[in-house]
Chains A and B, each alone.
Chain A
């Protein structure tokens, strides 16, 4: 658990601890403004086939690459081989060799496949990638991925796009306790309070997409998440009080007025 002011991933420093995704926004303009409002410095993107009937479509025009680190993901990959292929295509597109590794063979819950993720991570690390794997909140898997050289671990709070918050709290706490690399809580965070909760627990960062993109005002929601992340981080650094079963008076228990019942 690192209490330094900056987020450091693979030797690179970031002031913001909020990573944002770029999917599902109603327009590229709204996406651009929400990213700006979030204060994020790392934005995720995906690779897909071109639309041959819409050759001018290019969302990258809306992302200032001097300001944001592009973090391509391997979404759509169902096994290690597909994930490695997507990562290499992203690198060929001119991105820095950073990759959010996700392997999700199950279309209903989009839960990450731990075995295929681990296989792909080994290959990609050897190939020179900075690998940020999306995983279920499994502390043992997190250790294995760290051992093969992943730059972070990104455990899910709840399945992608569900907005349910941190349903994996106890396991995320163990991952945070044991991790030697930054822990980025990814997926399922639907409200700023969820992001604050992750940060209060000592997570190094969070990644949010759906909650911003589907809000009535993505820009305002981005501001709210920025504040949630900052509040949670401040609280973690400040040191939260211990929870207890019985009350402990905040006001002195001496010097009561005469005649008051004890």
Chain B
């Protein structure tokens, strides 16, 4: 199925959880903040959040800034 990550399309397996998606992409989930369809997903809910077709994810993290 197709979801959107930071406005780019991404093919993922049906029923994948947020946690396993982040793992597959190579991210340490503890360093990433996720918005799904405009709502923040708490980090302790990553493992129980199942993605579905058309979900729009924003994945952000800290960078240097003033």
Chain A interface (Cβ < 8 Å from any Cβ of B): 21-25, 31, 44-50, 52, 55-60, 70, 72-73, 75, 88-90, 92-94, 160-161, 187, 207, 209-210
Contact = CB atoms under 8 A, between A and B. Distances in A.
Contact of A88 (B40, B43, B61): B40
Nearest to A210: B66
Contact of B61 (A23, A48, A73): A48
B8 interface: yes
Given A89-B40, A94-B43, A48 B26 contact: no
B63 A89 contact: no
Closest 4 CB pairs of A and B: A46-B65, A21-B66, A209-B66, A55-B26
B33 A47 contact: yes
Given A47-B61, A89-B33, A93-B33, A52 B8 contact: yes
Given A47-B60, A49-B59, A89-B35, A75 B6 contact: no
A52 B7 CA distance: 12
A94 to B, nearest CB: 7
A52 B5 contact: yes
A207 B35 contact: no
B3 to A, nearest CB: 13
B44 to A, nearest CB: 11
B64 A89 contact: no
A48 B32 CA distance: 10
Contact of B66 (A49, A55, A75, A90): A75
A89 B61 CA distance: 9
Contacts of A23: 63-66
